[in-house]
């Protein structure tokens, strides 16, 4: 996974977590839902990137 994607996804995860927490603190259900959605989306992106990295690893079989 590229470092830029990793950092961006992690930033989105924290942004979602902050938005969800702020929504809980203020009683704003819309912010809670949006934050939870952003957090989940970010985690799914991270999982997809990890799966892609596992399938396209730099370890290629050597030619005989």
Q: Please, where are the H alpha helices in 2-56?
A: 3-26, 29-55
Q: Is the pLDDT of residue 49 over 90?
A: no
Q: What's this model's pTM, rounded to 2 decimal places?
A: 0.73
Q: Which of 40, 6, 39 minimizes the C-alpha distance to 22?
A: 39
- Check residue 16 and give its pLDDT: 94
- Check residue 31 and give its pLDDT: 95
- Place 30 in a pLDDT band, splitting at 50, 70 and 90: very high
> Rounded to 10 degrees, what is the CA torsion of 53, 1, 35, 11?
170
- Check residue 15 and give its pLDDT: 94
| Mean pLDDT computed over 49-64 | 73
């Amino acid at each position: 996974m590229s470092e830029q994607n990793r950092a961006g996804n992690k930033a989105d995860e924290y942004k979602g977590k902050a938005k969800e927490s702020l929504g809980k603190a203020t009683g704003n259900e819309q912010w809670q839902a949006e934050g939870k959605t952003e957090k989940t989306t970010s985690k799914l992106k991270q999982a997809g990137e990890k799966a892609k990295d596992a399938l396209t690893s730099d370890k290629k079989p050597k030619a005989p």
